[in-house]
Structure formats: structure tokens, C-alpha cells
Structure 1
Amino acid sequence: MSPGTTHGRPCPGPRGRPPRLDPVTTPRPAPSGWVWRVLAGWAGGPQPLVGGALCLAAVLYAVAVLWRPAWFAPSGLLLLLLVGAFVLRWRALLVLVASVVLLTAALTAGGSVDPGQVVVLVLGCGAVVTFGVERERLGLQGAPGALMLVDLRDRLSAGGRLPALPGRWQADAEVRSAHGAAFSGDFVVAHRSGGSYEVVLVDVSGKGQAAGVRALQLQGALGGLLGALPADEFLPAANRYLLEQGWDEGFATAVHLALDLSTGRFRVASAGHPPPAVLHAGSGRIDVLDAAGGVALGILEDMRPGTVTGVLAPGDVVVLYTDGLIEAPGRDVDQGIDRLLGVVEAVVAARPGSAHEVLAGVRAAEDDDRAVVVVRRS
């Protein structure tokens, strides 16, 4: 192990050769349900036809209110507005809202609607118009626009899947977003080519959905760079890309692990990221690879990452993680790292613990994105 490892603690070595650690990748969200698919089908149809059908349904419902007011509540028109909000584009949606307003006025004149119901219907029309204006500003067209966000979420999850490793090597990753949001600012990108393996763990500024779009864009860019450049050029290239984007919150921390699968030699490069932990099975020691230097990506043009090199012997494990596991209000970062090392000692040292078990053992707060990568040489 090269100089620069600052934290260490004894831990029990594995008893015998640990069984194979089955790769567990970032869980992929369940596909959107049939309701979304039906709405998307309607939204994909001719807008005049779909809008006309909803307006006709509104007229028929108003007639039903006049026919059987005890069976059909006037507020049922809000259901048609809700469907229209998801399947209609801006102009067709305005026609539907105008139809509901006119029908409400007609029902009020006929004495079928009391003032409280009128207020509810008017507020519902206002909410639908507001929703339509915001969606139009974002360029989202009906249900397909919402499905586009679902597809982006699925792509972000799928991009974090780790490639299978040969022989006695195993890799495992777990990513969780703040408060269970669909998008996370933490992500993993990995690449294997022959006897080399590279994995990058990135923490984009912000958290949850606010950082998810930036994370998706950066993940795609880093996925193209990883393996296409020498290991020592990867983070500087990622830094240049981030600077070119000109984001308001334009920085990210990253740790890059380049591993030779035949010899176990590795290189860790860090850009403002929490230092990885390495468990040495032979000596029963956990080291923190605290690489000197390494400013976060997207801040300085001449960014030089801090690097540490070493060798993973059989039984050794390297753990990458984001600051969501070690930072908490009122707690020092060093205390958070010590707590993480204790979990690694309990979960990974004596048995082939997974990234999921490490994350669960830390019990970090739900108000930040969290990610763990565990790479083991059996």
C-alpha cells in the first residue's frame, strides 16, 4: 500500500475463503403501469378527436346531473378535467376547460349546482390551467411527457448496473435517493475491458430530483469517457466537460477506481470525494485512502485529482461511498468515517457482505442521496 493511508483499525480476517458475492446492482424501478400506457395511447391519438370525446363526455355528464342529481354530483366534471390534463395538449385542454366552465354556468342557472360546488369546479379549472401552462413551458406534451420522465429515471438506474467480473472478483453497488425520490444525484458508472476494470462513483451537487437531471446528463458523458481514455486522464476530462456546461450548481465530487484484474494493482483518483476504505484480509486492517489534493469537478480549469495506488490481495475489499453515509448535522465527518469503518468491519470483514448491507448498517439519514460500491477479490 502506498503512503497516504491515514486511518486504520484492526479487524478479524475472513475465516477461510468467503463464498462468492453475488452482484447486486442498483435496483431498477418498476415499469410504469397500464394506466399510464392507456393515457399515453390517448394522448398519442388525434387531439381534436380526443378533446372532442372528452367535451362530449362532459356534456353527457352534465345531462346526467340534471336527470339524476342524487346519483351524479357536479364535481364529477373534475375527473374529466383530470384526464384531460394528462392527455391533451395546451389548446385542446383550454377548449375542455372552457366547456366545463360553460356547463357549470348552465347547471348553476338550472339550480343543479350550489355555490360551494361552483367554487370547487372553478378552482379545479384554475388548477388544470396552471398545470397546463407549466407543462407547456417545460415542453412536456401530455402523458407522453410524463412517460419521458419515467424513461429518464429508468435510464439513470440502468446506467448504474455493473458489468460481470471474471474468476474471483465481485463488484456490488447500491444507490438510494433522498426521501425515496425517483431521481438521485449519486450515480455509478463502470466499464470492463479485458483484464482492466474501472468504476466511478459520482455525487452531483444537490440531491434527489433537483440533481437527478444533471446526474443523468453527467452519467451519459462519463459513460462515454470511461474506458476510452487512460485512467490518469479520465477525471481531468470529466472536469472539462462539467465546466463547459455552465450549470448554476455546476460541481460534483467523484472517485475513480482503476483495477488490474490479473495482478490486483489499483489506482484510486479522487476529486473532492470522501476517501475509499480498503480492508486487508491478511493483516486484518482497514485503511482509508486519503489522497492529498483533488478539488471537486467543475470548479477549477486546471484540476489535478489526488491519487493513491496499491494492490488488492486475495480476500481484500475496497469500499467506495458518498458523503451521504458519513455526514450528519451535529456530527464531525471523521466521526462519520469511523462509524462507516465499524460497519465495514462488521459486515464485510468476517463475511461477504453486500453494498446493501453496508448502507443499511450505517443507517444514514434519509435526507441525502447515498451510494456504496463494494469490490472484492476472493
Structure 2
Amino acid sequence: MSPRQSLSFPDVRRRLRAAFSASDTPALVVLLVLTAAIVVGGFAAYEWVPTTTLVLPLILGSLWLGPRSLPWFTVAVCVGLCVMLLAPEVNLNGRSAVRTATIFAVALIILFASFRRSRLGVSGPRGESMFVDLRDRISRQGVLPPLPEQWSVEAVVRSAGGTQFAGDFVVARRSVDDRLDVVLVDVSGKGVEAGSRSLFLSGAFNGIVSALPGEEFLPAANTYLMGQDWDEGFATAIHLHLDLGSGDFELRKAGHPPAVWLHAGSGRWTVVSSDGPVLGLIPDADFECVSGRLSAGDALMLFTDGLVETSKRDIALGIDKLAGLGAGMLQRGFEGAAERAVSTIDHTDDDRALIVVHRRW
């Protein structure tokens, strides 16, 4: 249709019908009735029903209506406001002008918010429920599977600013041949900024670790990230592949801080480090494997840099401090040790995560 052609009545009706979602109809009817009642009440008794009362349906509309219906309803409220200003009792002075301008400003803010929501296609509460569902899904993927009695694994993730979305996440899987794979990933960015990438990558990495042998996980994850072509599409990761029967393990990392091995026999700790580039930067990268065996009482600590590195403390000193806390776990026990360690270390402005794998006596 060219710009000069006029819309016929069927075209207008069809567009209006498309604008209003069927799921919004009950709420829209209630809000229109409420708006009409306020307008009529303003005409009958403006002293008791002033124009500012129209803010109520505006706010309710922003909560209940989807992005298709909300702009039309906001326009309808503004029309109702103009009608109310024609009431005989309305005294157009500076005070009433400020009230009217405030209502129009609220309407513009709601319109702007509805245009932003149109990219998602759902109302505010529905969008929030979707994010809550995604958060719960990523949390379930990071739930550690039940293990044999001689093993315990604890994982703690804390986001920057205390939000529910973090750039650090955990992927865990126990195979039918009694092997445990635990992956700790640190996505570029922090807090909510990295939350969307974490939600996306957690599902992908969970599928990769479930489908491929341990030695193929990091190369496959690197290839996957290379294919995303994100501006900040890199991540660090450390992957533990553990035989729950013998205690033999393999550690591989990609640009991630090293693990700490706590030796129960000597009461000492060692840093388990290996070479490997950050995921998503170098194609066909190789990741060095470090092997070992956890004896009875031994433990491994996997962590992200937000737990050990600050602007005032070098990462090596942070690892020493964390390892010292781990050495104390050998005497005090490992129940709740991950939570205690994260709470003890100074808070930073970065996401923090810690996994403690312990082989009981």
C-alpha cells in the first residue's frame, strides 16, 4: 500500500484486531471499564475524582498488558484525560497544568517501555517469569548429581551485586560407568551483563559434556564459542574428569585459574596447573591434561578468578589464601566448606564460584 492510499474500515479493523492479543482481552476490558468510570466520575465530581486518578489504570496496564495492546490503551487513557479536562469544574491553572503534564510524562514512559518490550513480545511480569524460569533451568543444570558414599562435592556461585544471574556457572554430569564430569565456566563480563551468555552457554555446555568423552569437551566448547561470533564471546573454563571408583582424575583448563589439590596425608596443598587458551579466541586449540589420583581424605578446589583476584591483591596471593582455608578444611571437615570459604574471603566486584571435591576416609 502506497503512502497516499487511505486505509479502509476493514483494514483498520483488521489492524486493531491484530494489535490486541487474545490473552490481553480480559485485562484490557477491565482497564477500559475502569478508565471510562474514572472519566465519567471526573465529569460528575471532579473534586473527588481528579485527573491524577488516571495514573492507576496506566500503571495497571503496564503490568497486565502485552506490548501490542499497551500502546493503544495508553493512547486511550490520554484521550480520556483530554475529555476530563473539558469538565465544567476543571479550573485550568498552573497546578492543573503540572498535574496534566505529569500524567502525559508517565504515559510516555510507559509507551517507551512497551516499545522496548516489543522485542520480547510479552508483558513485564511474563518476561520476568521467563527469566525466572531460565534462571531455574541453569540452576538445575548445575545441580551436582548424587555420588557414592565416599565422595562429596559442593559448589557455591555468587554473582556480583547479589543478583540471581552470574557470569560463572557449573555444569555437572555423572555417567553410567561411574565417572564424574564437573565444569566450572567464567563467561566474559559479570553479573547481569554476562547472565544472558551464561544462560545460553550453560545449556550448550551441558549437552556437550553429556555427549562427548572428557578429553573432547574443551575443544568442542571452543569450536562452539568460535561459531557464535560474539563481540565478547570468550570464556574461561576448568574441566574435572573423575573416576569415582579409583579416584583417578584428569584436569584440563582453558585460560582459567589452576585447581588446588589438598593432600590429607601430609596436610599440604599443591597447585594443579595446565596450559590452554581461553575459549572462543583461537581455533583448533589444544588443552593440556594433568592427571592424578585422589587418595582417601584428599580434596580438589576449583574456583574462578573473582574469588582470588582483586585490584589490590595478586591472583597468586589470592590462591595462597584460598589454599590456606582449604588446608584448614582437612582438620575441621568438608561439610559446608565451600560456603564457609566463599563467605570468609573478601567480597569483590566480580562473580565468584568455588567447587570442592572431597574423597572421604
Q: Calculate the TM-score normalised by the size of structure 1.
A: 0.83
- After TM superposition, the structure 1 = structure 2 runs for residues 195-206 of structure 1, keeping only pairs within 5 Å, are 195-206=178-189
CA contact (8 A) 1:326 1:333 kept: yes
Aligned residue number for residue 83 of structure 1: 60
Q: How big is the shift at 1:185?
A: 0.9
- After TM superposition, the structure 1 = structure 2 runs for residues 1-378 of structure 1, keeping only pairs within 5 Å, are 46-69=23-46, 71-110=48-87, 111=90, 114-141=96-123, 143-193=125-175, 194-291=177-274, 293-347=275-329, 349-352=331-334, 353-365=336-348, 367-378=349-360
Q: How big is the shift at 1:65?
A: 3.9
Residues in 2 aligned to 1:324 and 1:138: alpha-carbon distance in whole angstroms? 32
Q: In 2 relative to 1, CA 315–347 (structure 1 residues): closer, same or farther, beyond 3 Å?
A: closer
Residues in 1 aligned to 2:197 and 2:23: alpha-carbon distance in whole angstroms? 34
119-128 or 350-359, larger mean C-alpha shift: 350-359
Q: How big is the shift at 1:64?
A: 3.2
Q: How big is the shift at 1:321?
A: 0.6
Q: How big is the shift at 1:158?
A: 1.6
CA contact (8 A) 1:181 1:209 kept: yes
Higher RCO structure, 1 or 2 (CA under 8 Å, sep 6+): 1
Q: In 2 relative to 1, CA 331–59 (structure 1 residues): closer, same or farther, beyond 3 Å?
A: same
| Helix, strand or coil at the partner of 2:153 | strand
Amino acid at match of 2:166: S
Q: In 2 relative to 1, CA 328–76 (structure 1 residues): closer, same or farther, beyond 3 Å?
A: farther
Residues in 2 aligned to 1:313 and 1:112: alpha-carbon distance in whole angstroms? 86
Residues in 1 aligned to 2:232 and 2:306: alpha-carbon distance in whole angstroms? 18
CA contact (8 A) 2:21 2:68 kept: no
| Helix, strand or coil at the partner of 1:364 | coil
Q: In 2 relative to 1, CA 91–166 (structure 1 residues): closer, same or farther, beyond 3 Å?
A: closer
Q: How big is the shift at 1:112?
A: 6.5
CA contact (8 A) 1:66 1:112 kept: no
Residues in 2 aligned to 1:85 and 1:326: alpha-carbon distance in whole angstroms? 43
CA contact (8 A) 2:186 2:236 kept: yes
Residues in 1 aligned to 2:150 and 2:47: alpha-carbon distance in whole angstroms? 71
Amino acid at match of 2:38: Y
335-344 or 267-276, larger mean C-alpha shift: 335-344
Residues in 2 aligned to 1:81 and 1:257: alpha-carbon distance in whole angstroms? 53
| Larger Rg computed on CA atoms | 2
Q: How big is the shift at 1:71?
A: 4.6
Gaps of 5+ in 1: 1-42
Residues in 1 aligned to 2:103 and 2:240: alpha-carbon distance in whole angstroms? 58
CA contact (8 A) 2:240 2:250 kept: yes
Q: How big is the shift at 1:182?
A: 2.2
326-335 or 231-240, larger mean C-alpha shift: 326-335
Q: How big is the shift at 1:148?
A: 1.3
Residues in 1 aligned to 2:91 and 2:320: alpha-carbon distance in whole angstroms? 69
220-229 or 120-129, larger mean C-alpha shift: 220-229
Q: How big is the shift at 1:268?
A: 0.6
Q: In 2 relative to 1, CA 348–67 (structure 1 residues): closer, same or farther, beyond 3 Å?
A: farther
Residues in 1 aligned to 2:262 and 2:37: alpha-carbon distance in whole angstroms? 71
Residues in 1 aligned to 2:304 and 2:189: alpha-carbon distance in whole angstroms? 13
Q: In 2 relative to 1, CA 376–195 (structure 1 residues): closer, same or farther, beyond 3 Å?
A: same
Q: In 2 relative to 1, CA 105–260 (structure 1 residues): closer, same or farther, beyond 3 Å?
A: same
Q: In 2 relative to 1, CA 278–132 (structure 1 residues): closer, same or farther, beyond 3 Å?
A: same
- Count matched residues: 334
Q: Calculate the TM-score normalised by the size of structure 2.
A: 0.87
Q: How big is the shift at 1:50?
A: 3.0
Aligned residue number for residue 26 of structure 1: none
